[in-house]
Amino acid sequence: MTESLTERAFDHFEEAINALREATSLTKADKANKLVSQIDQIAHSEEGIQYLYKKSPVLVKLGVFDNTAWAEPEKLVPQLVNGTLKAGTPHSSFEILSELRMLSIALGDSKHKAMSKKDAATFLEEVLVHNLEFVFESLNEETRSAMSALEQKKVFGLFKYLLSKSDLQGIKDKLAEEITLICEQRPIVTSKAREIIKLVKEKIELDTSKETDAKLAFYIDAIYHPSEAVRKHGTQEKYNSYLQSANDQELAIESDSLGKAMRSSGLVSSFHAILLEHLSEQNLDEHLPKALGLNDTGKAEFVKHKKEIKKLIHYIVHPDNAQCVYGLSRMLEKGLFSRQAVRAGLDNIKRIRLHSEVEKNIIKSIAHPGENISALQYLIGALIRVLGQPLGVGQGNNPTCQSARGISMWSQHAPAKLINMVITAATLNNLSFRFEGKEIEADKLGHGLVKQMDFSLDAVSVVLVPLLDKIYNEMMKLAAGREDDPHKWVNPAMYGQWIQIGFASVYNYLLNAIQDYEGFIKILYASCHPDYNGHHRLVYPNPVGIFITSSRGDMIGFHAVSLLRVRKDNEGVMRAYFLNPNNEGRQDWGQDIKPAVMGNGEKPGESSLPFNQFASRIYAFHYNTLQATDHLNEVPKEIVKEVKKLAQDSWGRSYTWNEIPRQW
């Protein structure tokens, strides 16, 4: 917003306040609605929210809430705020004003006869707890599809303001849970976790004798003082000079502490980069495996490729690019350096020249780009992270689950192909794919699904996703109108030969209905569920299309995930483990279906659900047509009925159902 625009908007708002003041009860509601219609223009800037806060007492006095659901603050329910914020303008605008009124009461800037300072503060605390997705600006799929970018900005602005005005003591438990849920997934992009941790460090007094506080302190330490020496020396310079004079035993302690802190939290402290640089440059090689927190496989790999690895450390590890150390450590344990193609690719990428647009985007994606580090170094750092943590890839706030799923899959099963793709995309800002004999070049295509990319992603995604998104979209166009889901043809072309050619979908385009759902579920169980597929394990990720449903079970939209594994958890429940590129740990799909990200045998980055619950949300998957029918009759009828009921009572309500059997 330009200066003059803000001023004009405020002028217009003042005029609206005057109109409200002059209105009699006959037209008050109209005037209030017009005034509230201006909030869209004001609320999305920090200055605007502050302004609205200052104006809230007079607006309340003039009757802006008269005859609305917000008329009596003492009757409002904090649990309902989230739904109202998602309901779009004007509801969200009224809701924002209502929270600002509450804050004004809580801070003693205004008084209300039926609401004490404390009541208001408690209300706001509850609101924060139930709206962490807004507090941390990490939206789940339901919210993302419900809210426009503008609506998101408005609401984010509100929570930023609320947060800056509250002491957070009452939401410590939730914050600890939130950080744990994020970090246990080992995301590639750690900025969200770091933001929360920073917030806690700056705003909350901790008493480490309490469990929650100790948990929060653990994460703060992982970033800010992963060892006693770091705590003692405080700054990077002082820590560096300490390392210069440290003896072997002290270095061993540092390596051990920092390595452990990193491996147990998934977070890398900037001091860690200083330590690695020191060890590597001084050829103190014996400490490096410890400092990387390596297991035996990793250690062996390190010894074997020491020279290359040290070169890589020298090239990319830097306090401003420290998070790649965790990726490097995971990459070593996966033995990726023993693949000649990977080594060659990593060597090649160091010598490329970035396309200017790509360079700009990478720098844009880094919150605080360091001066001594180039866009290429950031890119290679991110590449190491993607290779080391394939399940940590996320889509950020973009509707690009497809592309994220692809990057994750290539990282797992075709790392060298992924490196090459990054090299092409980074140098030419272009990519080319083949679709049914036809070459598709990203450069020659218009928009993909994303109109405005949110660049808070890892640099590999920053480089690849805009191109992949266009290509994916083009393939979908080419495959449209074939009377079946275009994904049937697009998925194998997009992701590669790991995808099975067979494709099952619940939806029949000709009938415009869900057809033979029972048959569909039988095929699913007979191909993926070990009890009914001849005890086979899944080998490659299966790109699965799911219905996203709200916490009430209502159909919201479609989403792409990858089914990775199906096996029994420790409780003996058969679970589906899958990659959900939205890195969301707080999902509620209704009917008590809540995907978990930890505690049920999930590997970091996996989500999981009991298999039947997962099955009830699937609308399409790939399978081997030659084998699937072998076990069809082994799938028990009760299971099929159970899954069908879950489906029919949720997303199924939005469709017509047709029971005519289908040839699978």
Name the residues that contact another protein, by CB under 8 A: 1, 4-5, 8-9, 12, 15-16, 23-27, 30, 33-35, 37-38, 40-41, 44, 87-91, 148-151
The tokens describing 38, both together, are 């201006």
Residue 545's region, left for phi above 0, alpha for psi from -120 to 50, else beta, is beta
Of 5 and 214, CB closest to another protein: 5
CA distances to 170, 373, 409, 437, 459 from 426, rounded to whole Å, are 46, 17, 20, 25, 10
Q: Please report how close the Cβ of residue 560 comes to another protein at its closest, in angstroms.
A: 22
End-to-end CA distance of the chain: 56
- If the CB atoms of residues 38 and 625 are measured against another protein, the closer one turns out to be 38
CB of 84 to another protein, least distance (A): 12
Distance CA 277, CA 279 (A): 6
- In the complex, the smallest distance separating the C-beta of residue 512 from another protein, rounded to whole angstroms, is 15
Distance CA 157, CA 604 (A): 31
The alpha carbon of 15 is separated from its chain's Cα centroid by a whole number of angstroms, namely 42
Peptide bond just before 90 cis, omega within 30 deg: yes
38 versus 629: smaller Cβ distance to another protein:
38
Q: How far is CA 592 from CA 269, 454, 578, 595, 646, in A?
A: 38, 32, 18, 10, 10
- Asked if 324 and 381 touch (Cβ cutoff 8 Å), the reply is yes
- Least distance from another protein to the Cβ atom of residue 12, Å: 5
Residue 291: phi, psi to the nearest 5? -65, -25
- Which two three-digit tokens encode residue 52? 């609205």
- Helix 248-265 to helix 270-281 angle, to the nearest 10 degrees? 140
Question: Helix or strand or coil: residue 362?
Answer: helix
What's the closest the beta carbon of residue 41 comes to another protein, in angstroms? 4
**Please, which residue, 34 or 304, has the CB nearer to another protein?**
34
- C-alpha–C-alpha distance, residues 469 and 492, integer Å: 15
Taking residue 612's Cβ as centre, other Cβ atoms within 10 Å add up to: 19
What angle (nearest 5°) sits at the alpha carbon of residue 490, between those of residues 485 and 494?
155
Residue with Cβ nearer another protein (80 or 149): 149
Nearest distance, CB of residue 221 and another protein, angstroms = 41
Angle between helices 270-281 and 236-245 (to 10 degrees): 30
- Comparison of 84 and 110: residue with beta carbon closer to another protein: 84
Cβ proximity to another protein: between 83 and 502 the closer is 83
d(CA 319, CA 370): 9
Exposed (0-12), middle (13-18) or buried (19+): which is 14, by Cβ within 10 Å? Answer: exposed
To another protein, the closest distance from the beta carbon of 40 in angstroms equals 5
Q: Which is nearer to another protein, 71 or 150 (CB)?
A: 150
User: DSSP character for 601?
Assistant: S
Alpha helices in 234-339 (DSSP H): 236-245, 248-265, 270-281, 288-291, 296-304, 306-316, 324-333
29 vs 300, beta carbon nearer another protein: 29
> What three-state secondary structure class fits 190?
coil
Q: Which is nearer to another protein, 150 or 513 (CB)?
A: 150
The nearest distance, CB 142 to another protein, in angstroms, is 14
> Smaller CB distance to another protein: residue 50 or 427?
50
Neighbouring CB atoms inside 10 A of 167's CB total 11
Report the DSSP pairing between strands 513-515 and 657-658. Answer: parallel
Whether 621 and 563 have beta carbons less than 8 Å apart is answered as yes
- CA gap 558, 205 in Å, rounded: 43
* Bridge partner residues of 115 (DSSP): 112
Beta carbons within 8 Å of 200's beta carbon, 6+ residues apart:
168, 172, 175, 179, 206, 216, 219, 220
In the bound state with another protein, the residue whose beta carbon lies nearer, of 83 and 88, is: 88
Q: How far is the CB of 90 from another protein (least distance, A)?
A: 7
Nearer to another protein, 37 or 282 (CB): 37
Residue 336 in 3-state DSSP? helix
Nearer to another protein, 30 or 592 (CB): 30
The distance of closest approach from Cβ of residue 6 to another protein in the complex, given in angstroms and rounded to an integer, is: 10
Q: How far is the CB of 18 from another protein (least distance, A)?
A: 12
User: Toward another protein, which CB reaches closer, 455 or 525?
Assistant: 455
User: Could you count the other beta carbons within 10 Å of the beta carbon of residue 204?
Assistant: 16
Q: How far is the CB of 476 from another protein (least distance, A)?
A: 20
DSSP letter for 110, please. S
Q: How far is the CB of 9 from another protein (least distance, A)?
A: 8
If DSSP codes are grouped into helix, strand and coil, which group holds residue 602? coil
CB of 45 to another protein, least distance (A): 10
Give me the least distance between CB of 54 and another protein, in Å please.
20
Q: Could you tell me which of 17, 99, 108, 102 has the C-alpha nearest to residue 63?
A: 17
